[in-house]
Amino acid sequence: MKIIDILNQNQKGVAFEFFPPKTEKGSKALAATVDVLKNFNPLYTSMTYGAGGATQEKTKHAVHMLTKHKGLIVMPHMTCVGAGSESIKNLLDDYKQEGIENIMALRGDAPEVVEDFDFSKQEFCFAIDLVKFLKEYGHFCVGVAVYPEGHIETPSLDADLEYAKQKIDTGADFAVTQMFFDNKYYYDFLQRAKGKGINIPILPGILPLTNLDKLRQFASVCKATIPEKVRNKMERFKSNSSDMQKAGIELTIEQCQDLINNGIKRLHFFTLNKPEVMKEILEALSL
């Protein structure tokens, strides 16, 4: 089923993003995670794609497991930078054959090993090029990424939103935001997007908080602001990791509950394949 149809029929619910495991142990952990989270009737699930297609086979394998063995609706992520149209078409053919109907269309990041990587010299320069390709291919419902605090490379919030609008106008059906830890950035983004005539569903991307060092790492890569309240509360428990996780979970519940209280009842979680943390958060929410 296409995710846009699911979203049109459901004004509330959760979605789970997973990453493809690298080892047999990781595969078992993912299967166990999915067994726990399936009970929360996700609207859909998604599977990330390693930078530059590094996990292409692992992503495909994990997508197969979730679709065929767990009966879930799965949206594979796909990045286009550095890829050619032939390889992208082959991957889409495989997914179509597998019964997949949704793709998260992303540009991806510059390869770390290449100095001064020039996006403009690639066959696919930006996510919009993949969205275009997908629309010409047909069959798939297309999700894209958007950035409430601006993408890390962008010179301005306005420019970033303009480019987001262009990829949405090219045919993206819905969007998921980059993580944010202060809801004001998301509410402001929704207002600005509406003002620009963007009318597709924009689901908030939520990262459950468990560890301050990891949070700092994620936040710096994603250009997400860590509010003082979050930093202070987690710092208080820096000598005890399980207390810090407890504080993080409380903060995530507060963040989600504030979204729900403000009418945002469809949440996309970056699960990090951690069932216990997710379970605690989901059980506390009034969804």
Kindly state the smallest distance separating residue 244's Cβ from ligand FAD, in Å: 25
Q: 151 vs 231, which CB is nearer to ligand FAD?
A: 151
Contact window for ligand FAD (CB under 6 A) among 133-141, 150-158, 194-202, 209-217: 150-158
CA gap 213, 210 in Å, rounded: 9
Per-residue interface string for the shown chain with ligand FAD, residues 50-79, x marking contact by CB under 6 A: -x-------------------------x-x
Q: What is the per-residue burial (b if ≥16 Cβ within 10 Å, else e) of 231-253?
A: eebbeebeeeeeebbebbbebbb
**Residue pair 22/273 in contact by the 8 Å Cβ criterion:** no
Quote the distance between the C-alpha of residue 190 and its chain's center. Answer: 17
Question: Cβ of residue 48: shortest distance to ligand FAD, in angstroms?
Answer: 3
By CB under 6 A, residue 102 contacts ligand FAD: no
Q: Which of 101, 149, 160, 173 binds ligand FAD (CB under 6 A)?
A: 160
Distance CA 52, CA 142 (A): 19
User: In this chain, which of 18, 95, 124, 126 binds ligand FAD, going by CB under 6 A?
Assistant: 126
Shortest distance, position 96 Cβ to ligand FAD, whole Å? 19
Report the alpha-carbon distance of residue 128 to residue 163 in Å, rounded. Answer: 8
**Binds ligand FAD by CB under 6 A, chosen from 167, 174, 186, 245:** 167
C-alpha span between 189 and 195 (Å, rounded): 10
CB-based contacts of 275, cutoff 8 Å, min separation 6: 32, 33, 36, 37
Closest approach of Cβ 59 to ligand FAD, in Å? 8
Burial of 19 (0-12, 13-18, 19+ CB in 10 A): buried
Q: Is 283 a catalytic residue?
A: no
Q: Work out how close the CB of 174 gets to ligand FAD at its nearest, in angstroms, rounded to a whole number.
A: 11
For residues 6, 73, 183 and 181, what is the CA-based torsion angle, rounded to 10 degrees? 180
The answer to whether 178 contacts ligand FAD (rule: CB under 6 A) is yes
* Residue indicated by tokens 């979203």: 7
Q: Which stretch binds ligand FAD (CB under 6 A): 101-109, 183-191, 224-232, 251-259?
A: 101-109
Q: Does 145 bind ligand FAD (CB under 6 A)?
A: yes
Cβ atoms within 10 Å, residue 159: 12
* The one among 15, 34, 103, 127 contacting ligand FAD by CB under 6 A: 127
- The residues of the shown chain that bind ligand FAD, judged by CB under 6 A, are 48-49, 51, 77, 79, 106-109, 126-128, 145, 151, 153-154, 159-160, 163, 167, 176, 178, 205
Residues classed as catalytic? 17
